[in-house]
Structure 1
Amino acid sequence: MLGLISGEFRLSKTIYFKYPLNSISMLVSYVAIFYGMIGGSYLASGSPILGSNLNALVVGYSLWILIQRTIDEMGLSISQEANNGTLEQIYISNSISKVLFARGVVNMIFSSIFILVTVAVILFFTGHQIVLDPREIIPIACALFASLGLGYAVAGITIYAKRIDNLLQIIQYLFLALLLIPYDNAGIYLRIVSYFVPLAPMVSVLKQLTNGPAMVSYNDLLVLPLINALFWFVLGYLAFNFCNIQVQKRGTIGHY
């Protein structure tokens, strides 16, 4: 497995450095989308986003980038392998789940670096500052684990349905809306629902930690994010296995 991860890491590094214009364009587009959100909020409310609200927006937006890139890469990699005619080779030479796991891990490493650069650029141009708390590593790690499960689910759907480019676009902005909902200020029933919304508990505790020194309960910091991460990883992996078994039974792995 370490050799597989190492190979995927070298491949991703080569692609990033070989096509720098594509990477820079992606960074510019994410920063532009963020400023578009700020501008749209200002036009709608007549007042700028400041303080804790800006912290919450930066946190939610960063996690959205993480989810979007993880889901896209794990889903689109299947489509690319199929278009190149190498998907069947992966099934023959190695376990498809292991390959996806290695790609997911490598993608999260590069995505985390990409997110840090994006947030640094956003904070530089906005003049805003966010105080980092060492406890933030816990919800971030849980968010990465949950994103990997969501990527598995999308990869399974891609194997089964073959082309889901438009569905991926819908999923991206659906998750963005879910992450920006203020669950902390909602009623008890919506808060209970948020425990099972992908990454919502992680976003909630990160918002508390980024707004300065805060007393965060054990449940909010560890239990709820861990349950949410395990729930979505297991659900995503089961969905992937189901789609994978169905495709193999029908013999339609390469029927694109």
Structure 2
Amino acid sequence: MRIALQSELRRTLLLMRRYPTETAAQIILAVVSFYALALGGRFMAGGTLLGTRMTDLIIGYVLWMLVLNTVGDMGFGIAEEAENGTLEQLFLSPLGPLRLFLMRAVITLGTSLVFIICVLIGILLLTGIRLRLELVQLIPFSLALLVALALGLLVASLAIVFKRVSQALSIIQFGFVFLLMIPFDTSGPLLAFVGHFVPLVPMFSLLRQMLHHPAGFAGGGLLLFWSMVNTLVWLLVGLITFQQATNAARHHGTIGHY
């Protein structure tokens, strides 16, 4: 397991080092896209996006980038393995598909985290916004990482069964923009309850509360509880769905198909 993890990490780092301009271009594109989004919001609102509105936009954008990278890397990665004819070899590895793809997902999350930090620094420098960052904020962000891992497993399940899922991936990735922007917590008790089970929404609300109020964690115990429930639910859904998808692909003999 340790050797496989080291090999996968080395492969990822070699790809990043071999194509440094690609990584730099992605960071620049993400920062410029946010700036264009902020300018568009300023135009639509008829004024400057300052204070809590800009902070909420930054938090939502960072979480969306997390989903975008994790879901995209796992989904397109499996589709590429299937196209190259190497997916069946991965299923025959001693580690098994679940542990192998979990290991890949963890490494993907690590590289995505570095990417997101670079994007966040670029956004803060470009906009001049100052965020009050504290160690306690790592709790909801860590939970968000686990949910992103679960979403990656769900997308990997689709890719294992259907192979060509590029259009579905685009819908999933950009659909989260709207999910994170829906005001679940201020739209009535029913929608607020539904929001507790929407991926990343409780973490988004908890991070907003922590950034807007210095004592946000002390008053956010209920949000923390729902964030943990949200994480547990989606982890179980991701693991069960992935196992069912691999069993179905093996049963129908379609692992090596494309």
Corresponding letter in the other structure for 2:81: E
Q: The residue matched to 1:16 in structure 2 has which SS?
A: helix
Q: Deviations over 1:127-153 (max 9, x none)?
A: 110010221111111111111111111
Contact 2:185 2:191 in 1 (8 A): no
Q: Which one of 210, 217, 221 corresponds to residue 218 of structure 1? A: 221
Aligned partner of 2:119 in structure 1 is 118
Q: Distance in 1 between matches of 2:220 and 2:46?
A: 35
1:2, 1:210 → 2: CA distance?
Answer: 38
Distance 1:241 1:168, change over 3 A: same
Q: TM-score, normalised by structure 2?
A: 0.95
Q: Which residue identity lines up with residue 204 of structure 2 in the other structure? A: V
The corresponding residue for 1:159 is: 160
Q: Which residue of structure 2 aligns with residue 169 of structure 1?
A: 170
The residue matched to 2:105 in structure 1 has which SS?
Answer: helix
State the alpha-carbon separation in 2 of the partners of residues 183 and 117 from structure 1: 29
Q: Which amino acid aligns with 2:39?
A: G
Find the aligned partners of 1:143 and 1:60 in 2 and give their Cα distance.
Answer: 12
RMSD (Å), alpha carbons = 1.2
- Report SS of the residue matched to 1:55: helix
Identity %: 35
Aligned: 1:92 with 2:92: yes
**Contact 2:185-2:195 at 8 Å conserved across structures:** no
Distance in 2 (CA, whole Å) between partners of 1:212 and 1:192 is: 23
Higher mean C-alpha deviation, range 225-234 or range 179-188 = 179-188
Aligned to 1:135: 136
- The amino acid across from 1:236 in the alignment is G
- 1:145–1:233: 8 Å Cα contact kept in structure 2? yes
Q: Distance in 1 between matches of 2:214 and 2:78?
A: 43
**Alignment map for 1:6-155 (pairs within 5 Å):** 6-94=6-94, 95-155=96-156
Question: What CA deviation, in whole Å up to 9, does each residue of 1:19-62 have, x standing for no partner?
Answer: 01110111122112211211221221111211111111111110
Q: CA deviation at 1:92?
A: 1.2
1:156 Cα offset (Å) = 0.8
Give the distance between the partners of 1:50 and 1:27, measured in 2 at CA.
23
Give the Cα separation in 2 of the matches to 1:93 and 1:109: 23
SS at match of 1:93: coil
Q: CA deviation at 1:212?
A: 4.1
Deviations 1:71-95 (A, max 9, x none): 1111111111112221111111231
Give a deviation string over 1:203-253, Cα, whole Å, max 9, x none. 0000111224034232223x1111101101111121111111111111111
In structure 1, the partner of 2:185 is 184
C-alpha displacement of 1:165: 0.6
State the secondary structure of the residue aligned to 2:31.
helix
Contact 2:209 2:220 in 1 (8 A): no
Distance 1:5 1:68 in 2: 23
Tell me the equivalent position of 1:233: 235
Aligned partners of 1:131 and 1:212 also within 8 Å: no
**Cα deviation digits, residues 175-223 of structure 1 (max 9, x gap):** 11111222332211111110000010000000111224034232223x1
Contact 1:147 1:233 in 2 (8 A): no
* CA positional deviation for 1:10: 1.1
Structure 2's unaligned 5+ residue stretches are none
Contact 2:42 2:49 in 1 (8 A): yes
Q: Distance in 2 between matches of 1:68 and 1:162?
A: 19
Q: Which amino acid aligns with 2:138?
A: I
Aligned residues: 255
Deviation at 1:2, TM superposition (A): 2.7
